[in-house]
């Protein structure tokens, strides 16, 4: 069946992309002289397993069913992830939430976070009524300061008024970014005309989490260096598979039953 063959090819491509993502992540951690995260090895091994399944089990009904799930979800993910970045927003905002990221060497902002902040600064300076900028990010691993403190410093150095900067220093992941930022918004009594700023690969999942936290917000995307984009994109895909893991578990049970019956 042509459809199944196409799904197997896409599944194999996913495996290759996971191998690339795992290797790229490992090399990145090594070059930045930090401990290689276990997640990097898991992604690499996962990619190798996927390609081994495609090569040795391409006529196995279980592998075929598995390839259908991942190929369809991957195509949907790509369309949604890329498409959401083309949504244009022209209105002025009352508040901007800038999502943080791990600090290099414990105190330096990464290039990705600087790009987010530069977008926020541009929006801020282009508005007559200045929005509040919530810098969101706590202390992850061994750091000299919180992500929010480092981001605030950058904003001050680039002409943002201190009274317009709100620090959220407790979050350790994207969902917490929005949950704790929601408390800040409530304190400010801001409930509309809100936007969050993150990198283009991260907009889709951030949009999902903002809704979970009860924030109705537009997503404003910052660019990403080309050599990091593919690695980040695959990490986002795996994160969304994990977010909706119950759907996958149910599908897995069904295809195991179908495989046994056949």
Per-residue pLDDT for 107 more than 90? no
Six-digit token pair at 34? 């930090």
**Edge to edge, what strands does the sheet with 132-136 contain?**
165-168, 132-136, 95-99, 194-199, 217-222
Per-residue pLDDT for 256 more than 90? yes
Give whichever of 52-66, 141-155, 237-251 has the largest mean pLDDT: 237-251
- Measure Cα distances from 46 to 23, 164, 228, 244 in Å: 12, 45, 19, 18
**Rounded distance between C-alpha atoms, residue 121 and residue 159, angstroms:** 8
Are residues 94 and 35 in contact, defined by beta-carbon separation less than 8 angstroms? no
Are residues 188 and 132 in contact, defined by beta-carbon separation less than 8 angstroms? yes
pLDDT at 45 (0 to 100): 97
Average pLDDT, the chain: 94
SS (H, E, C) the chain: CHHHHHHHHHHHHHHHHHHHHHHHHHHHHHHCCCCCCHHHHHHHHHHHHHHHHHHHCCCCHHHHHHHHHHHHHHHHHHHHHHHHHHCCCCCCCCEEEEECCCCECCCECCHHHHHHHHHHHHHHHHCCCCCEEEEECCCCCCCCCCHHHHHHHHHHHCCCCHHHEEEECCCCCHHHHHHHHHHHHHHHCCCCCEEEEEEHHHHHHHHHHHHHCCCCEEEEEECCCHHHHHHHHHHHHHHHHHHCHHHHHHHHHHHHHHHHHC
pLDDT average, residue stretch 148-156? 97
The residues spanned by each domain of the chain are 2-85+230-261, 90-224
Are residues 21 and 235 in contact, defined by beta-carbon separation less than 8 angstroms? yes
Which residues fall within 8 angstroms of residue 166, CB to CB, at 6 or more apart? Answer: 132, 133, 134, 135, 184, 188
**Range 90-224: architecture per CATH:** 3-Layer(aba) Sandwich (3.40)
Confidence of residue 91 (pLDDT cuts 50, 70, 90): confident
| pTM of the complete model | 0.92
| pLDDT tens digits for range 13-38 | 999 999 999 999 999 889 877 788 89
Are residues 120 and 82 in contact, defined by beta-carbon separation less than 8 angstroms? no
pLDDT average, residue stretch 191-196? 96
The sign one gets for the Cα dihedral 202, 11, 43, 41 is: negative
Closest CA to 238 of 5, 62, 14, 48: 14
**Rounded distance between C-alpha atoms, residue 247 and residue 31, angstroms:** 37
């Amino acid at each position: 069946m042509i459809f199944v063959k196409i799904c197997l090819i896409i599944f194999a491509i996913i495996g290759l992309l996971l191998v690339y993502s795992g290797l790229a992540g490992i090399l990145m951690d090594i070059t930045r002289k930090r401990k290689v995260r276990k997640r990097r090895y898991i992604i690499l091994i996962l990619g190798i397993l996927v390609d081994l399944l495609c090569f040795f089990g391409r006529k196995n009904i279980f592998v075929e069913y598995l390839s259908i799930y991942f190929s369809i979800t991957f195509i949907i993910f790509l369309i949604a992830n890329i498409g959401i970045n083309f949504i244009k927003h022209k209105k002025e905002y009352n508040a901007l939430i800038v999502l943080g990221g791990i600090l290099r060497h414990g105190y330096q902002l990464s290039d990705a976070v600087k790009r987010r902040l530069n977008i926020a600064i541009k929006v801020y300076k282009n508005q007559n009524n200045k929005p509040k900028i919530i810098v969101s990010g706590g202390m992850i691993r061994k750091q000299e300061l919180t992500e929010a403190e480092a981001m605030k410093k950058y904003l001050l150095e680039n002409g943002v008024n201190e009274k317009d900067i709100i620090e959220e220093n407790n979050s350790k992941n994207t969902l917490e970014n929005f949950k704790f930022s929601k408390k800040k918004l409530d304190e400010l009594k801001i409930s509309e005309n809100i936007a969050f700023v993150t990198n283009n690969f991260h907009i889709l999942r951030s949009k999902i989490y903002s809704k979970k936290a009860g924030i109705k917000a537009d997503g404003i995307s910052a660019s990403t260096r080309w050599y990091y984009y593919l690695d980040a994109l695959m990490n986002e895909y795996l994160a969304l598979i994990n977010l909706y893991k119950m759907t996958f578990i149910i599908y897995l049970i069904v295809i195991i039953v179908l495989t046994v019956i056949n």
